[in-house]
Structure 1
């Protein structure tokens, strides 16, 4: 599902932030135990292909710009069972992380090329080109930008035929919990699109902020 274009009324919430920069707004749909489902398009020049994908958030610490979770890929041709990976995320807040990745073989040009695929990023383009977005206040913006990096396979070995060398540029909508993302790996098909919607499944996980088990 395409990302909604930001209406002009929301742009007034974007302003330069001082030293007292705050964390992104608390979104009820971006919380521990929340589940999402959808697809990842892995098409290439030879064939059109999409995998069904389930994601669940296992931990979230907005103050430190951190979250983590699991990703389950179904109907993967080279795998006999669904492939589950554990990922860790960086929340772009201008305090802990900026729009510039600075690792994982991603250059600032790669960052700009991927972020600009999200219409909701467009108001920030000029400032991000200057400083990565350090001076932007994203605390009240209706979208949260993140990077998700898969760390390891949970239920299969590294010889499963898949790679987790790359990472996802992610845009999360606080309004409806939809997630749009693009996978970046110089050695994989470019701009593999991830499209997820929040589900009403039961929640389970842990919270770093309160250290409570749910």
Structure 2
């Protein structure tokens, strides 16, 4: 059973910790309109299962560490149509946000457990354990770390029997635009995270995406109105 660590000593949002030079690297693959496709592994002890997933970025503001978009799961069991959610993201830049979440019922221990699943995080671990990464300069780092929090369902109601209670720890590669993520749900902390749509448990559910429309061609989404 994990030991809860006080969150107040490591806030996720900081003000004035660094100059503008510490902002994440400008990446042509992390822009409004960019689409990604791949899978979300939701296998559990009973069966192997993966959902096909599409993501599109709807907004991106690197200066303030913000982005948002839609996520579409295409083959969700018991769903008659693809399930679409709207999410908002925090970019870990040591200026607006650090590696410690400080909300959504995630403890620093939960944060470290999930971030260390990414091999690209290993060189940063000691600094993050010291101060949440507030002293890091990530401006030239070849990966961008983020948190994605689904806010609401776009095309189904809240009575659909699905849940979006948790959030994703995300690692974005600036070189090829690939995305890896791990889901965390506070309602299943002691099961090391359950998946984002259904309530059965699976450890460290993984999201794997690749750029689907580099150059803005050859890929399209269904149309949805966000309200």
**Structure 1 length as normaliser, TM-score?**
0.84
Q: Does 1:196 align with 2:209?
A: yes
Deviates more, 1:18-27 or 1:153-162: 18-27
Deviation at 1:161, TM superposition (A): 2.3
CA contact (8 A) 1:51 1:76 kept: yes
CA offsets, 1:41-80, max 9 Å, x none?
0111121111000000000000000000000001101100
- Alignment match, 2:9: none
CA contact (8 A) 1:78 1:160 kept: no
Deviates more, 1:128-137 or 1:44-53: 44-53
- Alignment match, 1:141: 141
Q: Does 1:68 align with 2:54?
A: no
- Distance in 2 of aligned mates of 1:26 and 1:161: 39
Deviation at 1:22, TM superposition (A): 2.3
CA contact (8 A) 2:171 2:179 kept: yes
CA contact (8 A) 2:91 2:144 kept: yes
- The runs of 5 or more residues in structure 1 that have no matched partner are 1-17, 205-214
Where 1:33 maps in the other structure, the secondary structure is: coil
RMSD: 1.5
Moved over 3 A (4+): 201-204
- The runs of 5 or more residues in structure 2 that have no matched partner are 1-16, 189-193, 195-200, 221-227
Q: Does 1:38 align with 2:38?
A: yes
- Alignment match, 2:178: 178
- Alignment match, 1:156: 156
Work out which structure has the larger RCO, using CA pairs closer than 8 Å and 6 or more positions apart in sequence: 1
Deviates more, 1:144-153 or 1:44-53: 44-53
CA offsets, 1:122-165, max 9 Å, x none?
00100100110000000110000000000000000112222100
**Structure 2 length as normaliser, TM-score?**
0.79
- Distance in 2 of aligned mates of 1:45 and 1:162: 20
Query: For 1:3-152, what aligned pairs fall within 5 Å after superposition?
Result: 19-20=18-19, 21-152=21-152
CA offsets, 1:90-139, max 9 Å, x none?
00000100000011111000000000000000001001001100000001
- Distance in 2 of aligned mates of 1:62 and 1:78: 37
